Every structure is written in structure tokens, then in C-alpha cells.
């Protein structure tokens, strides 16, 4: 199993930052949206941490979970290719994956924050 509590910074991982939006920013965005009649969307992705792909050269290993051991290979470990819950860097991995997906959909990151994304619209007069 992934035992994030047993890893050591600088040896097993180097970066853990997982940006979140400040409450003040959310309040400002909600206020502007309400004043202009805009629609806001918020998502909760239950399997978020399972979507981020580990960077090239980032090696993460784990023991086989009980009940999933390959017969005759119970002592082997797995090398992960994606993030999992329990990894200290899982939030950072997910944030990078989500940001890339949002950029691909035409959104852009707000300059003063890391999490909110906006999609500029073409306004015709």
C-alpha cells in the first residue's frame, strides 16, 4: 500500500505543493458573477488523484495491496505510473494534470491565483 506517512522529503519526494484557491478570491469571483448574471461551475472529481501521471524520472514504488498479490509473486513491489491517494505529491500531480486539461479546453489560469480558471469569450458588438 502507499504509505505516504513513511516517506522522507528530499529522498522519496521533493515537491508537494497543491495549490488551492483562497476564500477571498472565491468570494470576489462569486460576487462579480452574481452582479453580472454569470454562471459559475465547480466540480468535484472523486478519483482526482488517480488521474495525474508521474513525471519522467519520478519513481514511486509500493507493496502489492492485500488481495491483489500475483500468485507466486507476493514479495514483488509495483512501480506506479500515476499518482495515488496517500502520496505526499499526489495533489501536485493532480493539479498539473487538471491545469493541462483546462488549457486544452481553452481556459486560462487566473494570473494572481493557481486554481481558478477562466474561459475568455468572444464578445461581438
pLDDT at 46: 77
Do 15 and 89 touch, CB atoms closer than 8 A? yes
Residue 124 lies in a domain: no
Question: How many structural domains compose the chain?
Answer: 1
- Does the pLDDT value for residue 88 go beyond 60? yes
Q: Is residue 23 part of a domain?
A: yes
Residue 97's domain comprises 4-118
Looking at residue 26, the DSSP 8-state letter turns out to be H
Does residue 47 fall inside a structural domain? Answer: yes
Do residues 113 and 22 make contact, with C-beta atoms less than 8 angstroms apart? yes
Q: What pLDDT is recorded for position 14?
A: 59
Q: Which residue has the cell 458573477?
A: 33
DSSP β-ladder status, 108-109 and 77-79: unpaired
Q: Does some domain include residue 125?
A: no
- Model pLDDT for residues 37-62, shown as the tens digit of each residue: 988 887 777 777 777 788 787 778 88
Structure confidence at residue 36 (pLDDT): 92
2-25 pLDDT, tens digit each: 554 455 566 555 565 667 788 898
* Whether residue 102 has pLDDT greater than 60: yes
Amino acid at each position: 500500500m502507499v504509505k505516504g506517512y513513511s516517506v522522507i522529503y528530499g529522498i522519496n519526494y521533493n515537491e508537494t505543493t497543491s495549490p488551492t484557491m483562497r476564500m477571498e478570491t472565491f468570494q470576489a469571483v462569486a460576487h462579480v458573477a452574481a452582479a453580472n448574471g454569470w454562471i459559475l461551475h465547480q466540480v468535484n472529481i472523486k478519483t482526482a488523484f488517480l488521474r495525474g501521471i508521474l513525471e519522467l524520472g519520478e519513481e514511486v514504488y509500493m507493496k502489492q495491496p492485500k488481495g491483489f498479490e500475483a500468485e507466486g509473486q507476493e514479495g514483488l513491489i509495483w512501480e506506479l505510473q500515476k499518482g495515488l491517494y496517500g502520496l505526499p505529491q499526489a495533489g501536485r500531480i493532480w493539479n498539473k494534470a487538471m491545469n493541462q486539461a483546462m488549457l486544452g479546453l481553452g481556459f486560462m489560469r487566473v494570473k494572481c491565483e493557481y486554481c481558478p480558471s477562466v474561459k475568455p469569450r468572444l464578445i461581438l458588438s
